[in-house]
Amino acid sequence: MKLSIMSYLIAKDWDLATYLEVARRCGCEGVEFRVELGHKHGMELELTTRERQAVGRKCTKAGIDVACVATGCRFHFPEAEKRAEQVALTKQYVQLAADLGSARIRVFGNDLPREVERRRVVGFVGNALREIAEFADPLGVDVLLEMHGDFNDWRAATLAVKWANHPRVGIVYNCDERDIVDGSVRECFEGIRHLLRHVHYHSLLVGYPYKELLGLLRGMGYQGYLSAELPASADPETVMGLTAALMREHIQSLG
């Protein structure tokens, strides 16, 4: 398992050089760019292909992978034109990820509007995922649905991914306390493990059973990223360093 820093929110004010240097000092192998929010790292659609590729080379030179491009794109809208706009936008981010040398992007479901039958919304999301995956496939980019919002429900998330029925589509597991049943995340994890491609973790000081999760990930042979999505801090470098060190200690304790 490898560690990554997601720029939302803790790294949003770091320029690219600082971001890569902090990741290196923390012993992380990757960074995850949150796009669309004007973060100081500057990874946005306005970059030219040459500029994007130059960033990818800088990351490689620093020994840091672009673990993921995290979008806020979502596909739950009842209006077909809104879904089409989001699909078109997501394809642009797929191209950005490919130009940066990243193998994955993050998208959302995100809601289950009460006025629309649940299965229809899942179908909206699944159809969008499939269309994007067909575009992403020749570029070597996975399209990963994060368990977020109403799609934090693993049943909705897995149904949407199965609906998409494409090998490039998978799940980002989000370490949400709503996954805990009787103190354990096993039920949720077992429901999504066959689709899991990426993990977002949060503060290690809350009641989430991270040691259990790490054991489950080790048991399935997970070799992907654990990407830290931490709140903003007055001392982000120290917080990130301590968090990464504690996460490595948890991983090493597995033996």
Tell me yes or no: is domain 2-252 CATH 3.50.30.40: no
171: phi then psi, degrees, rounded to nearest 5: -125, 140
Return the pLDDT at 206.
Answer: 84
How many helices (H) and strands (E) would you count in the chain?
8, 8
Q: What share of the chain is helix, strand, coil (3-state, %, to 5)?
A: 45, 20, 35
**Percentage with pLDDT > 70 across the chain:** 100
Q: Domain residues of the chain, as ranges?
A: 2-252
Closest C-alpha among 92, 86, 95 to residue 56: 95
The dihedral built from the CA positions of residue 211, 213, 214 and 216, taken in this order, carries a sign that is positive
Residues 25, 194: Cα–Cα separation, whole Å: 33
Which residues are registered as beta bridge partners of 228? 5, 201
Which pTM was predicted? 0.97
Return the pLDDT at 190.
Answer: 98
Q: What is the DSSP letter of 81?
A: H
Return the pLDDT at 90.
Answer: 98
pLDDT in tens, 132-144: 999 999 999 999 9
Return the pLDDT at 133.
Answer: 98
**pLDDT higher than 90, residue 96:** yes
**pLDDT higher than 90, residue 147:** yes
pLDDT in tens, 222-254: 999 999 999 999 999 999 999 999 999 999 999
**pLDDT higher than 90, residue 205:** no
**pLDDT higher than 90, residue 25:** yes
Please count the other Cβ atoms lying within 10 Å of the Cβ belonging to residue 128: 27
Residues 228, 10: Cα–Cα separation, whole Å: 9
Torsion angle, alpha carbons of 127, 132, 134, 140, to 10:
-140
Tokens matching residue 196:
């899991």
3: phi then psi, degrees, rounded to nearest 5: -105, 145
Q: For residue 63, count CB atoms less than 10 angstroms from its CB and return exposed for 0-12, middle for 13-18, buried for 19 or more.
A: exposed
